[in-house]
Amino acid sequence: MGKFVIECPSCGRYAEASNGFFAKKKIDCVCGYVINVKTDKLSSKVCPHCGNTVVFDQSKGEDARCPVCHEKINTREGMAALAEFTCPSCSCKLSADKSAVSYVCPLCDTVIDVQERIEKEAVKNQGLASVIKYEGGNDTFVWKHPIEDFNLGSQLIVHESQEALFFRDGKALDLFGAGRYTLATQNIPLLENLYKLPSNTTEVFHSEVYFINMTTQMGIKWGTDSKVRMFDPASGLHIEIGACGNFSLRVNDSRKLIVKLVGTSSEFKQNEVMGDQYSVSSVVGKFKALVMNRVKSNISRIIKENNINVLEIDEYLDIISEKLRIAINEVLGEYGLVMPEFFVTSILTPDDDPNFKRLKQQFADKTLRVREEGIRKAEAEAAQGRKILEAQTEAQLKMVGAQGEAEALKIKAQAEAEAYKAQAFAEAEEMRAKGYTYQQETSRMVGMEAMQNGITGGRDGGSALGDIAGLGVTLGAMGGVIGMTKDALNPIMKDSSEIGSGVVHAADDTWDCSCGCKGIKSRFCPDCGSARPEPVSSWNCTCGCKNITSKFCPECGSKKPAAPTVWNCPECGNKNITTKFCPECGHKREE
């Protein structure tokens, strides 16, 4: 029965196995993996001769050969070329060929740079580091350097947006910003005062170095692990809601952060903030409870204080997010961290909850009522507008009707004037045919009227005046019929003087002054010297309004007619004629 060395497919360690019928079929590895000799004896390996990754049978021992180059692949010299190192993720002990480039950890599936890990293991085994620099990932907040023994003269490299903190015995000591430093007693004074470092660069001093990533880590997801019970202020109903989103995180105090995390882990990554329950190692979130507590205890309070309707909550996500960010930062600052942004991207409402369904129905009914009230208001405003328009239209129609009546009266008056003018022309033509003038006919008619009324030329002036007064009444009536003018009355007065020489004027041409003096016959007042006022010219409108002194009629708005053009007849001497033909002789006005 021959013996051979078999490699554990889990951790890479080697165990002893045997060939033969009674040999053990299963071997327990120190890592806990049970090696099945029959199935696990076949292994893959990079051939040190041709460089190909080949599969060979480990049970053949040193006689196993590469199927490509046919050189021995499992010799003791080849096994001595194996290097042991630890996985940077799970710290599992692994082994691989010293010439290998990469190796996949069988526990956490981390792809390991074999040559880099071999160099780090060598430095760690020596206990000294000549160059100290950050070797963590971009999603890491804090990374602890694996070497804890350094000598003076080592190079410390700190990248931009990083800080390096020397730590010893639970105390944060010297802090370095971005740059390249040669460790000497003058730039690590706190460590020098505490330990009295030697000046010899070959001497070793013990310290822990933490690199802090000062960049803002974005896209960290969060979500409530249970529903938040709240009282909706708009409807008065109790409902349950959930919330989720993401936030950003940044280190603002390296010392506070390191003091809170020292002794818990060699690094602090982004997935440790809220935890990752789906990962292999089931990382527990360090700040999950803090965020959940602040979100649940404040989100319902924010909704109440701002009187937010849950059905319209998406409109207020920015307000809720900002208030939650402030509430979380009040506690998060104790750990040296700050949350620049906190976003609530979704509010989960209980669509199947009867209370929430009732809330949506109430809101829908309220919206419909508001819309119906708006429609009724618009209809009332439209009706009022129609009434106003109808009233305006009726007023305009009445105005047009009044103007039409005034226009009809005007046309009627013009027709009557034209008829009277035609009658006057006819009478003038008749008198011209008979051989006497209109003035002579008028004088004849006045004389006959005087004789009929018994007016004589006696000496008794009083009776003559009464007769003339009576005659005036008759003449006034005649003037209304035949349109007698002032010029036509001159021969009448001449004839009447022949009848009675003692006749006096029926009216006295006097005027009263505004100062109180009355019966003034002169042009100026003898008391105050005021001039006699000019007689006010008035006119009558065709609509029936009389004694108008303004330029427009106050009833219908018609304009005052222009003063008629007068002319004197060159044939008979008649004056102040307004018609086209002379009423005395019928002579036509010359243009």
575 assigned to some structural domain: yes
Q: Based on the fold, state whether residues 302 and 222 are members of the same structural domain.
A: yes
84 assigned to some structural domain: no
Give the residue from 316, 350, 384 where a domain finishes.
350
Check if the beta carbon of residue 343 is closer than 8 Å to that of residue 270: no
Q: Based on the fold, state whether residues 222 and 338 are members of the same structural domain.
A: yes
**Which residue, 215, 283, 278, is CA-closest to 248?**
215
Other C-beta atoms lying within 10 Å of the C-beta of residue 17: 21
Q: Which residues pair with 166 in a beta bridge?
A: 209
Other C-beta atoms lying within 10 Å of the C-beta of residue 252: 15
Cα separation of 465 and 470, whole Å? 9
Helices (H), 139-267: 189-195, 254-261
526 assigned to some structural domain: no
Task: Give the C-alpha distances (Å, rounded to integers) separating 83 from 4, 94, 117.
Answer: 20, 8, 10
Side chain identity at 563, as an amino acid letter?
A: A
Q: Based on the fold, state whether residues 490 and 546 are members of the same structural domain.
A: no
Q: Based on the fold, state whether residues 238 and 305 are members of the same structural domain.
A: yes
149 assigned to some structural domain: no
Pairing label, strands 179-182, 208-213 = unpaired
DSSP assignment letter at 335: G
Collapsing DSSP to helix, strand or coil, 175 comes out as: strand
Q: Based on the fold, state whether residues 340 and 228 are members of the same structural domain.
A: yes
Domain ranges, residue 237? 217-350
Tokens representing 552?
């427009």
143 assigned to some structural domain: no
318 assigned to some structural domain: yes
Q: Based on the fold, state whether residues 479 and 554 are members of the same structural domain.
A: no
The pLDDT of residue 466 is 44
Cα separation of 210 and 207, whole Å? 10
483 assigned to some structural domain: yes
**What CATH number did the domain enclosing 257 receive?**
3.30.479.30
Collapsing DSSP to helix, strand or coil, 540 comes out as: coil
Helix (H) or strand (E) holding 6: strand 3-7
Tokens representing 115?
């040559």
Residue 344 burial (CB < 10 Å; 0-12/13-18/19+)?
A: buried
The total number of structural domains in the chain stands at: 3
Task: Give the C-alpha distances (Å, rounded to integers) separating 294 from 65, 244, 299, 303, 396.
Answer: 65, 13, 8, 14, 73
Cα separation of 574 and 114, whole Å? 145
Q: Based on the fold, state whether residues 545 and 444 are members of the same structural domain.
A: no
**Which residue, 573, 575, 576, 572, is CA-closest to 585?**
572
Tokens representing 363?
């809101």
472 assigned to some structural domain: yes
Q: Based on the fold, state whether residues 248 and 346 are members of the same structural domain.
A: yes
Per-10-residue mean pLDDT of the chain, 591 residues long, equals 73 74 78 80 72 74 78 65 72 72 77 77 60 84 83 83 84 85 70 58 71 91 87 73 92 88 76 70 77 90 84 87 93 91 88 74 77 82 82 77 71 72 71 64 65 52 44 43 43 44 49 86 84 79 85 84 81 84 83 68
Q: Based on the fold, state whether residues 240 and 320 are members of the same structural domain.
A: yes
Give the residue from 350, 376, 405 where a domain finishes.
350
Cα separation of 171 and 308, whole Å? 48
Other C-beta atoms lying within 10 Å of the C-beta of residue 96: 22
Cα separation of 436 and 434, whole Å? 6
The pLDDT of residue 180 is 87
Q: Based on the fold, state whether residues 483 and 585 are members of the same structural domain.
A: no
Cα separation of 280 and 271, whole Å? 12
Tokens representing 120?
């780090």
Q: Based on the fold, state whether residues 237 and 313 are members of the same structural domain.
A: yes
Provide the whole-model pTM.
0.44
Tokens representing 550?
């303004």
Q: Based on the fold, state whether residues 342 and 437 are members of the same structural domain.
A: no
Q: Which residues pair with 552 in a beta bridge?
A: 559
Residues whose CB falls within 8 Å of the CB of residue 10, separated by 6 or more in sequence, listed in order:
29, 31, 32, 33, 106, 107
Give the residue from 328, 350, 372 where a domain finishes.
350
Side chain identity at 538, as an amino acid letter?
A: S
Cα separation of 275 and 291, whole Å? 12
Rounded to the nearest 5 percent, the helix, strand and coil shares of the chain are: 40, 25, 40
